[in-house]
Amino acid sequence: MHDLAVMLNEILKDTSAFELLSDYGLRMYVPKGIIVQSADAKQKASRYNATIGVALENGSAMYIPAMKAQFADTMQASEIFPYAPMGGVAALRKQWKDDMYFKNPLLKGKTTSLPVVAGGLTHCLSLVCSLFLEIGGDVVLPDMYWENYNLILDEQRQANKILFPIFSGDGFNVKGLDQAIASADDTVMVILNFPNNPTGYTPTDKESDEIIAVLKKHAEKGKKIALVTDDAYFGLFFDDVPCHQSLFAKACDLHENILAIKCDAATKEEMVWGFRVAFITYGGKGLSEGQLDALVQKTMGALRGNLSSCTMPGQQILLKAMADPSHHKDKEAGVKKIGERYFALKKALEKHKDETCLKALPFNSGYFMSFWCQCNAEELRNYLLDVYQTGIIRSDEHHIRLAFSSVDVCNIEPLVDTVYKAASEMV
């Protein structure tokens, strides 16, 4: 049980509330991770704030004009106030599927389910794990991952996490993934998040093919694999280095022993962080449309049992905006702005490449990049806040994360210089 949960239980001890808590209730706590650290940064990071995974411009959230335009008086009451259908607005589900096929040409000719609408990426992962991961079951994932995974995997499912180092040299650790799957039970969940949070890394085309080969090898040996692709940051590619298609597109008809599950969201792809509209899509070799629909029905049942249905206005606005003729052009302009920060960051890091107090981990996409730091990461985070009014995220004892998505391009170089200066002063 996590130390924070133990502390809360101690506070509640000798009360009827404590006696009434379920096992899950006893295990629950609020992690002192990204949300708490971001709150610290709001208080103290008056110069640079590279903590939160949102795309900001001049301190305000970026947006696609076609999306904002829907907030005029053009929406009907019937598109705002009623309950949304349990699995989501049918037209939006079809639109998202069509868009998914457009963005992933490898899906052409392949059969996948109609996406189910969920209340954000966290909700997607929670539903999928409740359906496909037994309590105490094995789950394979890289050692650098989004902190929300802990609440789902550790506290909800009490899973046996089998971690492997995400990097081998300057690239993805395919061999580590292979060994981790080999050590797991005959039924295993594999979660792969690309572009990765917190590292901002996506495998290259070659690495992507190697990952697929590893999955197929183990499936051929008899392992049953639930492959979950966490595609929260999909589409945030700024050059030709990373693979531009989801692993789901390559795995959804790979082998009868592999169920591919795509979790993605409008959150980052459409720059609508507060909408909480996400999607779950299934694919598997040999699965008929009827069988895929059965999986959809089970997912809708799980959704009904905890959230019932998702936001109606958010879905309707998203649907209307995606149909706007200017949508794709405006979206590309937003991605380009984040890309300018990415290239500025690459350039800023070059002049510090020989310094040993920090080591930049590989990154090629998404919102983030991470450093290994010679000093204690939490001490560096607090030092940056108190002395330099600069906010970053501490991932673990020796890693920090920078969200370049939330820093204007003119501030990227001074941000990097400040982080290196502070780290050198702490060695």
- pLDDT at site 26: 82
In angstroms, how far is the first alpha carbon of the chain from the final one?
Answer: 34
Output the pLDDT for position 309: 86
pLDDT for 303-318, tens place per residue?
888 888 899 999 999 9
The confidence score (pLDDT) of residue 34 equals 65
Confidence of residue 4 (pLDDT cuts 50, 70, 90): confident
Give the global pTM.
0.89
pLDDT at 32: 67
Is there a contact between 207 and 375 (Cβ–Cβ < 8 Å)? Answer: no
User: Per-residue pLDDT tens for 367-389?
Assistant: 999 999 999 999 999 999 999 99
Beta pairing class for 393-396 and 399-403: antiparallel
Q: What is the mean pLDDT of residues 240-265?
A: 96
Q: Is the peptide bond before 195 cis (omega within 30 degrees of 0)?
A: yes
Model confidence band, residue 228 (pLDDT cutoffs 50, 70, 90): very high
What are the structural domains, with CATH classification, of the chain?
Answer: 31-62+329-426 (3.90.1150.10), 84-322 (3.40.640.10)
How high does pLDDT run on average in the chain?
Answer: 91
Instruction: Give the pairing type, strands 138-142 and 187-193.
Output: parallel
**pLDDT for 92:** 97
pLDDT above 80 for 27: no
Q: What whole-number percentage of the chain has pLDDT above 70?
A: 95
The string of pLDDT tens digits covering residues 44-95 is 877 877 776 767 777 776 777 777 777 766 778 788 888 888 889 999 999 9
- pLDDT at position 232, please? 96
Identify the band that residue 181 occupies on the pLDDT scale cut at 50, 70 and 90.
Answer: very high
Conformation bin of residue 286: beta by default, left when phi > 0, alpha when psi is -120 to 50: left
Mean pLDDT confidence for 4-17:
79
Identity of the residue numbered 290: G
- Is the pLDDT at 40 greater than 70, yes or no? yes
Question: At a CB cut-off of 8 Å and minimum separation 6, what does 321 contact?
Answer: 64, 66, 67, 69, 70, 270, 327
Task: Provide the 8-state DSSP code for 312.
Answer: H
